[in-house]
Amino acid sequence: MQSLLRIIKFAFQDLARNFSLSFMTVFILVLMLLSVNTLWSLDVLTNAAVEAVKKQIDISIYFVPEATDKNVNEIKSYVAMFPEVTDIKLQSKEQVLAAFREQHKLQKEALDALDELGKNPFGPTMIVKTREPKDYKKIIDALNVPEYENLIEAKSFDNHEDAIERLQNITNRIERIGFGLTVLFALISFLIIFNTIRVAINTQRMEINIKRLVGASNWFIRGPYFVESLVFTVLSMAFTMAIVFLGLRWIDPYLAVVLPNGFSLTNYFYSNMLVLFGVQALAVLLLTLLSSGLAMRKQLKT
């Protein structure tokens, strides 16, 4: 225990002596971690945005006014057999007419023209949702059969696949840039830590020789530098978590406007905090230990 306390004491003395290098090390590690969390947040936001777009995609099947409930239910049962279909909603003639009146309530000409007809010109409508946007083509092709020609008046499909593809392409480009920045910051962190330890060893070479003369082991000499690596990890993670959660609280109100169902990045990070920051802390600790170990191996050869 006494040796451990001395190792910790020597570690903090080294940090104080090389405060500027220690500060720069933590600063670069924070930049690296922020780039990682930005990439992670971007990936989560992209998935949420894609899912939101997918939920808005559907195919509307408009039946002729003469179509009976039996005809509509027969086609509904046929479409429901496809494993790609996740939901089917039916709107009766009356519901379609009411929706039309509500949608055009400010357009007097349209309502007057509808009243002049004296009857409901609309048929039932069936709205189909599938697991993936690409599955809609299969449903449309399946309904293009002679048996349903006289029952189906039109099929409407709002294709958002292009929008999804553009979103994915933009995200992929940003992720590649972010990954490059992460690698760059990791390399800079490695070099700074490596040189910080080398400077500390060079400035304390006399002390190290004295420790050896009085019987100190190599592990006792190396101990303070490993403690410094742990301190770098703890400080960089603490600053990163503080900055990340402050940033998330600032950006969440804007995301709530764009993404439905009350999506919150803050809640996501809170729910996955142990995994997200645990992995990052382990990676930073390994990086700092590796760079410190290599620096000491070169400078403390016996």
Q: What are phi and psi of 120, to 5 degrees?
A: -85, 115
- pLDDT at position 238, please? 92
- pLDDT at position 281, please? 87
Q: Is the pTM of this model over 0.85?
A: no
- pLDDT at position 239, please? 92
List the domain boundaries for the chain.
2-53+163-299, 58-159
Which three-class secondary structure string do you get for 144-185?
CCHHHCCCEEEEEECCCHHHHHHHHHHHHHHHHHHHHHHHHH
Please name the amino acid found at residue 264: S
Per-residue pLDDT of the chain (302 residues; tens, 9 = 90+): 666 677 777 667 777 777 777 787 788 888 888 888 887 887 788 777 777 777 777 788 888 888 888 888 888 888 888 888 888 888 888 888 888 888 877 777 877 777 777 788 888 888 888 887 777 778 888 888 888 878 888 877 655 556 656 766 766 777 677 677 777 777 776 777 667 666 666 666 666 666 666 666 666 666 777 788 888 888 989 998 999 889 888 888 877 777 766 678 888 888 888 888 888 888 888 877 777 777 666 555 54
* Per CATH, domain 58-159 is 3.30.70.3040: yes
241-245: long-range contacts, CB 8 A cutoff, minimum separation 24: 241/277, 243/30, 243/34, 244/34, 244/37, 244/269, 245/269
- pLDDT at position 187, please? 77
Where are the strands (E) in 20-177, listed by range?
59-63, 85-91, 125-130, 152-157
Q: What are phi and psi of 40, to 5 degrees?
A: -65, -45
